[in-house]
Amino acid sequence: MPTAAQLLRRFNDTKTLPQVALRLFKLLSEEGSRIQEFDGLIKMDPVLVTRLLRMVNSPYYGLSEKITSISRAIVFIGMKNLRNLVVIEGLKDLMQEDSRGGVFSRKQLWLHCVAVSICSQMIAERVFGQRGEDAFLCGILHDVGMIVEDQTAPDLFVKTCTALGSGSRLLLLVEKEMIGTDHCEIGALLAKDWKMPEEIKEGIRRHHTVDETMVPNTLTGILQLAEFMATKMGHPALKGLPATLSLSLVGHVRENLREYQLLAKDVPSRMAVAADLYENQEA
């Protein structure tokens, strides 16, 4: 059976982020990078330019005048939001193809990841008073390993999805049995390749880990809480995949149930905003 690293090598030979995105990640990881360098790179990708200007001029930022300069747009949204925008653009391209005989849908996975990213950011900001950009990115990326499996081992991945649909077996166990690795391990390796922060890689690697000592306000805890919410709200990653939660997080939710109920009411409107920002093609 292939290892996670072997599947990732196959994946990178066929599908990866555009070169502009990879070069942007390199700049973002380097101290002392200048706005002018980002400006020059972004101009090479017209779609990214459109997305960036759409984002900064959206009601979310509430600016009194329209921004048309890439450099000014970057200053307003910040480097982490720029990074997240680049990741979203790359993942959308990876999730264009669809259909595995009805057992797996990339569109369904995309909606799941969007829901998890939105819930992650809201939990980080509104429950724990943290900045939410990293939580948002972790949510968008957490299941990218499934795309790698679907791209590089499609027959084995279909068997995995089919086995899940016939019972309540744990996803990671079925993946290891059928494929030889799991999407968490693959996703963490891919995040490392894309130069993501260590906390984000760890969140991706452990987001299905049921741990009685998991701390709610860590990125891993926030991601698991968000995935639980998204699944309960009708956005599972796979058909037949149940929502699971570490025991320590169950206690946390019970203690803060009213806050999570209020968050859940806001998710649909936040998803509509995300659809407007990231799915429409018009400038």
Q: How far is CA 7 from the centre of its chain?
A: 20
- The whole-number pLDDT of residue 281 equals 42
Residue 236 lies in a domain: yes
Angle separating helix axes 257-278 and 247-255, nearest 10 degrees: 100
- The whole-number pLDDT of residue 282 equals 40
What is the per-residue pLDDT across 194-234, written as a single tens digit (0 to 9) for each? 888 899 999 999 999 988 889 999 999 999 999 999 999 99
Q: Which two tokens stand for residue 213?
A: 């000592």
Buried-state track 131-143, b at ≥16 Cβ within 10 A, e below 16: ebbbbbbbbbbbb
Alpha carbon distance 20, 229 (integer Å): 34
For 61, the domain range is 4-278
Residue ranges for the chain with pLDDT beneath 50: 281-283
Q: How many domains does the chain have?
A: 1
- Report helix, strand or coil for 136: helix
- The whole-number pLDDT of residue 168 equals 52
Give the CATH number of the domain where residue 170 resides: 1.10.3210.10
- The whole-number pLDDT of residue 79 equals 86
- The whole-number pLDDT of residue 277 equals 63
- The whole-number pLDDT of residue 169 equals 63
- The whole-number pLDDT of residue 29 equals 75
Residue 283 lies in a domain: no
